[in-house]
Structure 1
Amino acid sequence: MRGAVKITISVEDPTEHFQQRLLALLAEHAADVHVDTEWTVERAVRYYLSLPLNARRIVKEATIRDGYVPADELREDGDGSLRGHSAALKRAVERGVRNRWWPEGMEAPITPQGPGFGKVRGYCLRRNLVDVFFAAIAEVGLMSQRDALERAVRAGGGIWDAERTVKALAEAGVTVDDSRARQLLGDLADRGLLARNEANAENAENGKDSKNARDARDAKDAKDAKDAAVYEVTDIKEDRSAL
């Protein structure tokens, strides 16, 4: 039984003659050659930065939403056209091949979903690439604290307070204190993703909830009570059939 030998070849500015001979050699031994067509963080960074701004937003929103973003969430005026964005996502993959960022055969990381005839219902980022693209967008400094928390909330669901928020963001490589955590929770509540959970705050007296909720018992003014707020994820009604 032959052992596998891994050989990585990197050639800067190869001549056309060299390219042709190398490709011919690889073609001759195609059955024994594995072409690396996996999306890495480095490749995801190149892909993301090569996109126009509107297409970047599609990838970022799909990443935050754990792999799928409905088209309606991308239309700022509720009736904007998404025409052309799908082509930009496809061209970025082709551009990467031309620029030798990755080999031919790379599967598109994100694809439009819809009934056809140019209509788009949403965009689907391959589930196994969500973590890769999250790391890539964070690496170039374009993933905000709120973006990171929204992704954690959508993935984790359930009840959220400052304590859980601080821990979840720490796991994503983002450091915030309790005060900032409460601000971020309030932002997501304003966007409709979270709703204040009064029942859980009241249950704190029986020791059934988190530390932040229990602290609300002794709050002496409205500000302290708001600071100890507990939130619950609202129903997320998205068509995820493509995932």
Structure 2
Amino acid sequence: MSKKIIHRANTRGHANHGWLDSHHTFSFASYYDPERLGFGLLRVLNDDVVAPGMGFGTHPHDNMEIISIPLKGSLAHRDSTGTQEVIQTNEVQIMSAGSGLTHSEFNGSKTEPVNFLQIWVFPKERDIQPRYGQKSFKPEDRVNKLQTVVSPEKDGEALWINQDAWFTLGTLRNGFSEQYALHQPGNGLYAFVLDGEVEIDGEKLGRRDGMGISRTDKVQINSSGDAELLLMEIPMK
């Protein structure tokens, strides 16, 4: 029998630093809940709004897969691999911190805030050479479809991740109904509703609600209205 855990939007950790307004689905920084230390190898799911011209100064990471998904606005990125990029809405960035690197992230605009998801996943192989990837995905290719944006397949159309994990995005319309089949035994699925309402495995979820499902090989997704959805298939151990 499947196992479910639901995290309603209003139960997330919250920190407002003025320049940064951040909601934490899982324990992060000063927010700590021993019941919310992640979902399988998914460690961090932060919903960040950064004020114009502001951002995170240079800081280190190692042995973590870090995915950034701008939902509104643009995010400027610079790291010690020599990468310097701006990530826009409909783009996804992944950084394998590997043996160690430093990076900084700033709002790419001086006039408009940026809202982006920052997601951390524990890696499959440790101490790999640090690497950076960024890709644009057509929004029309996920209307009433699930569009894979991150996968462990190096030669696929999605961004490569150093883990047996798959991330998909969907812009769902009224009447959408699909069964998500997990790629690998022992994986779980964490669903995060970006906007609207959707029913997942019989549970109704609203904007910024999250739900993890494990001990199953398929998950039913239904939508009776417009919704934006992120699915993260993650090894549970």
Q: TM-score, normalised by structure 2?
A: 0.21
TM-score (norm 1): 0.20
Larger radius of gyration: 1
Q: Higher strand proportion, which one?
A: 2
